[in-house]
Chains A and B, each alone.
Chain A
Amino acid sequence: MLEIQNISKNYGKKKALQSCHLIANKHDIIGILGQNGCGKSTLFKSVMGLIEVDSGTILYNHKQCDFNQRKKFGYMPEQRSLFLDLTLYDQLKFLAQLKGILDDRFDRLVDLYIERFDLKDKKYTVLNKLSKGQQQKVQLIASLIHNPDVLILDEPLNGLDFYSVQLVMNELRIQASLGKIILISSHQMDFMDELCTHLLVLDNGHTIKNGKLSGLYQEYGVCVSVNADSLWHNISKLHKNILEKGSMIEFHYANLLEAKKALGNFCKEPTITTLKLHNVSIGDMLKEGE
């Protein structure tokens, strides 16, 4: 269990983090969200011990988090952090050796991950010859190679195409299923919706939302989406919470019961060809938070 207890960090007068609190258990994928400069990276760096917090404590398995504890953590920073003159294999080997992974085990692991991340033919390619997305995947492999118990991933989906995002998300689901704790930040809300089990939303260093995603979904109600070219106006004249989302129209309801009633009415309208009952998206939660 990873416990972040009321940590605060100031950079001069700027308050980067204020009393941030978070508890993460095995199998949790916690999305850390917020605008640029809200304190996400500061939180990650604090957990990784790269910056010293001004107050508060970080515990791992009920013990003060120190360097030895953090050896079980894997970290992927937001910036491109690679020796671009090395080959993929050499870069990963360097980091694996720093973690004390023996060559045989490393070779097995590197083959496994480059296959999973579709980089098999790039094993001996110099990193500066790889695309930005491929380099991003190498960084992710670097954070996974020592089989960490906790994964701290700062914007891992940046620069990835849809196919690669799916690969990464699948990998993260596999890792979570193995009992890992994953802390991930991203601005790609749709993917965070699909991936996260918990959410921590920061705003100027302050925690504005924190909890299980299922709990937050209940708090924010339920949505029904229908195709926008249907005659939905006839049915939902009384609706106030309506959002246009491209080819779909989204109706917000306070609870599941109301949504189910509305669903019955939508089913009667023949022009409605697409009908979807779903939770409020994380992006919409954040908008409401504003």
Chain B
Amino acid sequence: MKTLLQFSFKRRFLNKMTLFLQIIFILVISIMFYFDKISELLNLEFNRPIPIYIEPNLRKLIVNEAEWKNKGFEFTTNKESITISYSKDVYTITLVDDLMTQSKIYDLLLDNHQKRKESSSNSSVYRWLEDYRSIDVDFLEYKYEDNQFKHQIIILFLTSIYFMLLNFIAVNSNEIIMEKTSHMIPIILTHVKIKTHFISKLIIGFASVLFQIISSIGIVGLIGYSRYQLDKGEGLIRLLVKFLPFKLDSFNLDDILKLLDLSMNDLVQVSIGLVFILIGIFIIQILILILSSKVKTMEEAASIQGPFYLVLLIIYYLALSLNTTQSLSSNLGLTLSYIPIFSMLIMPMRLLTQHVMPIEIMISILFSFALISLIFIIMYPIYCEGLREEG
């Protein structure tokens, strides 16, 4: 029993891949706990206050300015930033494009309102209490309401593709592991050069990703069309509106398409976004393929994909947390949109929320290709060695 336990423990936990996973985990957790320090060190301006314009009549009424600062806002005179106006006991807020900021502003306005109420006297306690409890805030006047919906739909589309493709990053790795465990590698390497083997794996990996995208879009299109023919998807849209964070007044696919109002520019942006996702997936495929060549046991094979899924999940959450015009314009957002792998989601989001110069797109793609070249130069010998070890 003891021997069995020791044997299993050693094989499961003292293998290179599990150690690699642990290193990645330690790294990620360390970054999380020291993010403020790292952000300061790298001058990422992640903590840069969000500029907010408060109209003079309301500005006079703000008594909790310190609270606003603590929550990351900075009062400005620039009307292009978030603006809050106040008229007839209704606060109107424009240019807030994420729910979290909306919620923070609401809380701060309510806090301000309550502080003011606390210092004022009122004849009717009942009326005072009623006033005290709530405020009227109007978030409906988005300057870019239509864009917001379009933006959300495109982000939904891109992130769906991102997750769909995550399944495929492991295909190559599984194939290599299968070839290694069946001892076919020596036989195959007497038939083809290692470089041919490597490139064919990359091609087939990338081709399966493309096939998956095309077939999925085809299937979605076909089934969507059949539903459109049936009743223009009316019942479905009504159901979806209940669960999805969209505000819609129309409930059939015709109206949705009109609302989306997809232009050629939107399609170009989505296509560029897809290119970034594909490049990111390609880089991850190369890395996972090379690491798979070093796998020697089934236990190692089981842990090889872990670090990649962890990193990809972090990229996803990072992209979601940065999915506001302000965050994406911060140094962190800008920097990550150039860093390969991170750029696979951050750059598409930047493309959708702000004007990105073509040169920025080119530079970001160039960085990714530079990383691919670097991986080829530095890590290809590791692949050769990994396969030859089996040979």
- Interface residues in chain A, defined as those with a beta carbon under 8 Å from any beta carbon in chain B: 45, 48-52, 67, 70, 73, 75, 77, 79-84, 95, 98-99, 142
Q: In the complex, how many residues of chain B place their beta carbon closer than 8 angstroms to a beta carbon of chain A?
A: 14
Q: Is the pair A50, B184 in contact by a Cβ cutoff of 8 Å?
A: no
Nearest-CB residue, chain A, relative to B193: A67
With both beta carbons as reference points, the residue of chain B lying nearest to A77 in the complex is identified as B186
Majority DSSP secondary structure for residues of B touching A = helix
Question: CB distance A98 to B188 under 8 Å?
Answer: yes
- Smallest Cβ distance from B45 to chain A, in angstroms? 51
Query: B182 — which chain A residues lie within 8 A by C-beta?
Result: 81-84
Q: Which of B183, B187, B388 contacts A75 (CB 8 A)?
A: B187
* Nearest-Cβ distance from residue A145 to partner chain B, whole angstroms: 11
Chain A residues near B186 (CB-CB < 8 A): 45, 48, 50, 75, 77, 81
Q: Is the CB of B190 within 8 A of A51?
A: no
Query: How far does the Cβ of A68 sit from chain B's closest Cβ, in whole Å?
Result: 10
Q: Could you tell me if B183 and A50 are in contact, using CB atoms closer than 8 angstroms?
A: no
Tell me if A98 and B184 are in contact (CB < 8 A): no
A79 touches B189 (CB 8 A): no
> Contacting A98 at CB < 8 Å: which of B178, B183, B191, B391?
B191
Contacts A81-B187, A83-B182, A83-B184 given; does A52 touch B388 at CB 8 Å: yes
- Interfacial chain A residues near B178, Cβ < 8 Å: 83
Docked-complex contact B191 and A99, CB < 8 angstroms = yes
Q: Which residues of B contact A98 (CB under 8 A)?
A: 188, 191-192
CB of B252 to closest CB in A, whole Å: 49
For A91, give the chain B residue with the smallest CB separation. B184
**With contact pairs A45-B391, A51-B391 given, residues A77 and B183 touching in the complex (Cβ less than 8 Å):** yes
State how many angstroms separate the Cβ of B94 from the closest Cβ of chain A.
Answer: 62
Contacts of B188 in A (CB 8 A): 98
Most buried by A among B178, B183, B191, B193: B191
B residues with a Cβ closer than 8 A to A are 178, 182-184, 186-193, 388, 391
Task: Point out the residues of chain B lying under 8 angstroms from A45, CB to CB.
Answer: 186, 391
Decide if A75 touches B184 in the complex (CB within 8 Å).
Answer: no
Query: Could you jot down 21 A-B contacts, CB within 8 Å?
Result: A48-B186, A48-B391, A49-B189, A50-B189, A52-B388, A67-B193, A73-B190, A75-B187, A77-B183, A77-B187, A79-B183, A80-B183, A81-B182, A81-B184, A81-B186, A83-B178, A83-B182, A83-B184, A95-B187, A95-B191, A99-B191
Chain A: interface secondary structure? Answer: loop
Quick one: closest A residue to B178, CB to CB?
Answer: A83
Chain B residues with CB under 8 A of A52: 388
Which residues of the other chain, A, contact B187 by a CB distance below 8 angstroms? 75, 77, 81, 95, 142
Closest residue of chain A to B179 (Cβ to Cβ) is A83
Which residue of the partner chain B has the closest CB to A73? B190
Tell me the complex Cα distance, A51–B188, Å.
14
**Chain A residues with CB under 8 A of B391:** 45, 48, 50-51
Q: B190 to chain A: which residues have CB within 8 Å?
A: 48-50, 70, 73, 75
Q: In the assembly, what is the distance between CA of A52 and CA of B391, in Å?
A: 11
Greatest chain A CB density within 10 A among B188, B190, B191, B192 is at B190
Additional pairs, 4, CB under 8 Å, beyond known A49-B190, A67-B193, A99-B191: A45-B391, A49-B189, A51-B388, A81-B184
Complex Cα gap A98–B388 (Å) = 19
| Interface-central residue, B184, B186, B189, B193, by most chain A CB under 10 Å | B186
Instruction: Determine which residue in B183, B186, B187, B191 has the highest number of CB atoms from chain A within 10 A of its CB, and name it.
Output: B187
CA distance A225 to B3 in the complex (A): 51
| Complex CA–CA separation, A77 to B182 (angstroms) | 12
A261 CB, nearest partner CB in chain B, Å: 52
Max chain B C-beta neighbours (<10 A), residue from A49, A50, A98: A50
- Shortest CB distance A9–B (Å): 12
- Report how far A67 CA is from B195 CA in the complex, Å: 12
Closest residue on chain A to residue B195 by CB atoms? A67
Which chain B residues border A70 with CB–CB below 8 Å?
A: 190
CB proximity of B262 to chain A, nearest CB, Å: 45
In the complex, how many angstroms separate the beta carbon of A194 from the nearest chain B beta carbon? 28
Return chain A residues, CB-CB under 8 Å to B191: 95, 98-99
- Bound state CA distance, A79 and B186, in angstroms? 10
Look across to chain A and name the residue whose beta carbon is closest to the beta carbon of B390: A50
- Are the C-beta atoms of B388 and A50 separated by less than 8 Å? yes
A98-B193 Cα distance, complex, nearest whole Å: 11
C-alpha spacing A48/B191, complex, angstroms: 10
Cα–Cα, bound, A139→B53 (Å): 77
Residues in chain A near residue B388, CB distance under 8 A: 50-52
**What CA separation (Å) do A48 and B391 show in the bound complex?**
10
Q: How far is the CB of A140 from the nearest CB of chain B, in Å?
A: 12
Give chain B residues whose Cβ lies under 8 Å from the Cβ of A81.
182-184, 186-187
**Docked CA distance A67–B193 (Å):** 7
Measured in the bound complex, the distance between the Cα atoms of B183 and A45 in whole Å is 14
Best-surrounded residue of A51, A81, A142 (most CB of chain B within 10 A): A81
List, in ascending order, chain B residues with CB within 8 A of A77's CB. Answer: 183, 186-187
| Chain B residues whose C-beta falls within 8 Å of the C-beta of A99 in the assembled complex | 191
Residues of B within 8 Å of A82, CB to CB, are 182, 184
> For A79, what are the chain B residues with a Cβ–Cβ distance below 8 Å?
183
- Which 8 pairs from chain A and chain B are nearest by CB? A50-B391, A98-B191, A81-B183, A79-B183, A75-B190, A81-B187, A77-B186, A48-B190
